[in-house]
Amino acid sequence: MCPALQTTDAFLTEGPRRKRRGSFVSGEGKVKFAMSGWNQVTTVEEMEADTQRLRDTACQVCAETYEDRKRNQTPQCRFGEDGICCRICSMGPCRVTPKAPRGICGADAHAIAGRNYLRMVAAGTASHSDHAREILHVLHMSSRDGNYPVRDEQKLIRLAEEYGIETEGRDIYDIAHEVAETALMEFGKPFGTQRFAERAIPERREVWAREGIMPRAIDREIATAMHMTHMGNTADAEALVRQGLRCGLSNGWGGSMLGTEVTDILFGTPTVRRTEGNLGVLEKDMVNIAVHGHDPVFSEMVVFAAEQKDLGDRARAAGAKGINIVGLCCTANEIAMRHGVRMAGNFLQQENAVLTGALEMMCVDVQCIFPALAQLTECFHTKFITSSPIARIPGSTYIEFKPETALEQARELVIMAIDNYKNRDESKLFIPEHKQTAVVGYPTEQIIKELDKVTNSHVDERGSFRPAIDAIRAGVLRGAVAIVGCNNPKIRPDYSHFEIMRELLRNDILIVATGCAAQLATKAGLLNMEAKDLCGAGLKRVCELIGIPPILHMGACVDISRMMLLANGIARDWGVDISQIPVVGVAPEWMSEKAVSIANYVVSTGIDVYLGIEPQVKGSAQMMELITEGTRRITGAGFIINTDPHDLVREIIDGIEAKREALAAVGVL
Ligand code: BF8
Ligand code: SF4
């Protein structure tokens, strides 16, 4: 065991210290700001009070928000809720009831719920993977002096070597283009399985091969899912669930992993950065531009344009102090991790950002964008810009973003926002004060670097997860939990994330977070080094020893692939299967089809997934059994569902302790 973890007292005072500084983008490049220091968490009640105040503005301007629309939608359709409405052919729609247990074709509740579920996996897989494909095309046209140069050459070379591509003596851009072409073949190759599946430990690959769920080409798995669910095909729920696992794997160990790799290659692998989060990052005296969505090809360029001096001068000439770029949803995670750009909030905060009356522009790319932003921005001076043919929204200004003209277009957008500053209506302006400092940027590579700090005297352990394993074996850490996913108005927004995070920290369970869950951690202040004070003694000691916050921000939802490699690395270095390690996933407030696809690849990787929102299959007892227990028979992991966050977190802790006991029983704890 790492001796540092046994003799902690010395390390309590000797742990690494970092300077407390951050930066945000303005018209003069990165502006440094002194971190105000961490006092206490921002509570969900405080966040709700801000939202309530912004709803007053909504009333004032006669705008509706998701809460109004939710009221109009209540009660929601029970058949849809239970997954037993079928409309996949025009003989339907067919709804299953006790009196009418089969659709016109004879499909029963299990077939209908199973088909609907698999279609969600297919749509989620398509979304993540197509996002990755777009970025691969940008890598394919990358050039030294173009809009998109390669920023992480080492990662490119590593991937080229993994692919068996010659690197010796070749121009880096020739390599980049060949890597992109090879990776693009992962989507449609007629034969073989996903190359990245080879990264998994042998135990996992054996499970995937044995169960017939080794993922083939990404497009093939999506097409197979759609074909199986066409009228007149599969009515067997288990076969549908199995294809859900396979299709999910083509996302997690295919599309999403490609998305993460290529984003790192093009824009740099994230490292630790300071930033801030919550609506208080909007600036009263600056031109505020929110970038929202997922594809960093767009947001990176807007950030770059806003840093150019002439645009800063233009903003000042317009009476502002500069340009303030902020992020929403996963775009926020991407640019915070690479540039320290501040995060305005998560999924259900997107309308709030407009309601501040302080946004000169909201630019969006793809995924998780409310079409409602078009009507809402009309009540303010805010320009609403859509940029992708994948997300066309009536009422927006559509400027199709093209890599060849990206910088020019990004500059035009920033200029449009600056010129809009004069139209701001002070009577509608209210920026909530709450914001928190945060430390972000922990991809797997960074986590290994942090761990290496405590293995200086154990050279053989450098580059491994041994220190983390030692801490878990010693019981200093009980385990680790990946908290991921969205907000969902079905439950109190952000409350489940907050309650679950607090309780896990108290119980010495390290958290890694992505997506909108990571944003809640940011808003609450849980990504500060000082949040260690909320932890049990063991986790607090680990945080101090290594110099990390107790929640590690790993990125956007597409970066859940990083978490798979983290779990894979821990299991490899431990010498056990992934399903044995005390590591689980939790999506307390999930809502999207992407989340369903993610849950499927996480379970296929052998990691239990705890859900705070019920999947829409309740109308089929067979489907409920299959996703909770059936997948466990196939992959060694399943879903655990509980809509009460306090009960759910208890189940998570019990699950982690059960895994520890099982490891002890076979003598490896
Ligand atoms: O992909 S967590 S609401 S923003 S789907 Fe969307 Fe959900 Fe947020 Fe990122 Ni992920
Ligand atoms: Fe109805 Fe069968 Fe058509 Fe579905 S596929 S709508 S159950 S007839």
Q: What is the DSSP string of 412-441?
A: HHHHHHHHHGGG--GGG-------EEEEE-
Beta-carbon contacts of residue 156 (< 8 Å; ≥ 6 apart): 150, 172, 175, 176, 179, 265
Q: In terms of DSSP bridges, do strands 273-277 and 29-34 run parallel, antiparallel, or are they unpaired?
A: unpaired
C-beta of 105 in contact with ligand 2 (< 6 A): yes
Atom 10 in ligand 1: residue holding the nearest Cα: 557
Q: Residues 252, 279: one domain?
A: no
Atom 6 in ligand 2: residue holding the nearest Cα: 92
Domain assignment present for residue 354? The answer is yes
C-beta of 16 in contact with ligand 2 (< 6 A): no
Cα dist. 603→137, 157, 207, 244, 564 in Å?
30, 31, 12, 11, 10
Distance CA 296, CA 298 (A): 5
Identify the three-state secondary structure at position 61. coil
103, 83 in Cβ contact below 8 A?
no
C-beta of 235 in contact with ligand 2 (< 6 A): no
Beta-carbon contacts of residue 338 (< 8 Å; ≥ 6 apart): 267, 268, 270, 273, 296, 300, 441
Mean pLDDT by 10 residues, the chain (669 residues): 34 31 46 53 97 97 97 97 98 97 98 98 98 98 97 98 98 98 98 98 98 98 98 98 98 98 98 97 98 97 97 98 98 98 98 98 98 98 98 98 97 98 97 97 95 71 89 96 98 98 98 98 97 96 95 98 98 98 98 98 98 98 98 98 98 98 97
Per-residue pLDDT, 190: 98
Domain assignment present for residue 434? The answer is no
Domain assignment present for residue 550? The answer is yes
Look at residues 428, 456, 489 and tell me which one is the last residue of a structural domain.
428
What burial class does residue 52 get, using C-beta atoms within 10 Å of its C-beta: 0-12 exposed, 13-18 middle, 19+ buried? exposed
255, 426 in Cβ contact below 8 A?
no
Cα dist. 42→96, 280, 590 in Å?
45, 12, 22
Domain assignment present for residue 601? The answer is yes
Q: Residues 279, 267: one domain?
A: no
C-beta of 107 in contact with ligand 2 (< 6 A): yes
Mutation to probe ligand 1, out of 329, 494, 554, 590 (largest number of atoms < 8 A from CB): 329
The amino acid that residue 566 corresponds to is L
Domain assignment present for residue 74? The answer is no
Domain assignment present for residue 423? The answer is yes
Look at residues 428, 451, 468 and tell me which one is the last residue of a structural domain.
428
CA of 617 to the centre of ligand 2 (A): 17
Per-residue pLDDT, 457: 55
Distance CA 193, CA 20 (A): 46
Which residue's structure tokens are 């982690």? 656
DSSP string, 519-550: HHHHHHTTTSGGGGGGS-HHHHHHHHHHT--S
Per-residue pLDDT, 462: 79
Domain assignment present for residue 230? The answer is yes
C-beta of 594 in contact with ligand 1 (< 6 A): yes
Distance CA 506, CA 274 (A): 24
Partners of 29 in beta bridges: 26, 27
Per-residue pLDDT, 23: 47
Q: Residues 260, 283: one domain?
A: no
The pair of three-digit structure tokens given for residue 558, joined into one six-digit string:
């597409």
- Using the atom order of ligand 2, give the atom closest to the CA of residue 86: 4
Domain assignment present for residue 52? The answer is no
C-beta of 516 in contact with ligand 1 (< 6 A): yes
Q: Residues 321, 371: one domain?
A: yes
Q: Tell me the ligand closest to 79's alpha carbon.
A: 2
Q: Residues 452, 358: one domain?
A: no
C-beta of 22 in contact with ligand 1 (< 6 A): no
Q: Residues 223, 361: one domain?
A: no
Which residue's structure tokens are 């961490």? 38
Residue 291's CATH number: 3.40.50.2030
Mutation to probe ligand 1, out of 368, 390, 488, 597 (largest number of atoms < 8 A from CB): 368
Look at residues 377, 407, 428 and tell me which one is the last residue of a structural domain.
428
Mutation to probe ligand 1, out of 486, 487, 523, 602 (largest number of atoms < 8 A from CB): 486
To the nearest 10°, report the CA torsion of 571, 566, 347, 343.
150
Q: What is the CA radius of gyration of the chain?
A: 24
41, 494 in Cβ contact below 8 A?
no
Number of domains forming the structure of the chain: 2
CA of 427 to the centre of ligand 2 (A): 54
C-beta of 637 in contact with ligand 1 (< 6 A): no
585, 475 in Cβ contact below 8 A?
no
Closest to 505 (Cα-Cα) out of 66, 41, 121, 137: 41
Residue-wise burial string across 173-210, b where 16 or more C-beta atoms lie within 10 A, e elsewhere: bebbbbbbebbbebbebeeebbbbbebbbebbeebbee
Beta-carbon contacts of residue 274 (< 8 Å; ≥ 6 apart): 20, 21, 22, 23, 35, 340, 437, 438, 439, 440
Q: Residues 574, 667: one domain?
A: yes
Which residue's structure tokens are 């489907």? 623
CA of 94 to the centre of ligand 2 (A): 6
Q: Residues 491, 596: one domain?
A: yes
CA of 624 to the centre of ligand 2 (A): 21
Q: Residues 232, 327: one domain?
A: no
Q: Tell me the ligand closest to 590's alpha carbon.
A: 1
C-beta of 328 in contact with ligand 1 (< 6 A): no
Q: Residues 525, 407: one domain?
A: no
Backbone φ and ψ of 563, nearest 5°: -65, -35
Identify the three-state secondary structure at position 394. coil
Per-residue pLDDT, 638: 98
The amino acid that residue 286 corresponds to is M
Cα torsion angle, 160, 166, 169, 171, sign: negative
Distance CA 106, CA 311 (A): 64
Per-residue pLDDT, 38: 58
Owning domain of residue 589: 1-19+90-272+441-669
Q: Residues 183, 291: one domain?
A: no
Q: Residues 213, 328: one domain?
A: no
Per-residue pLDDT, 459: 59
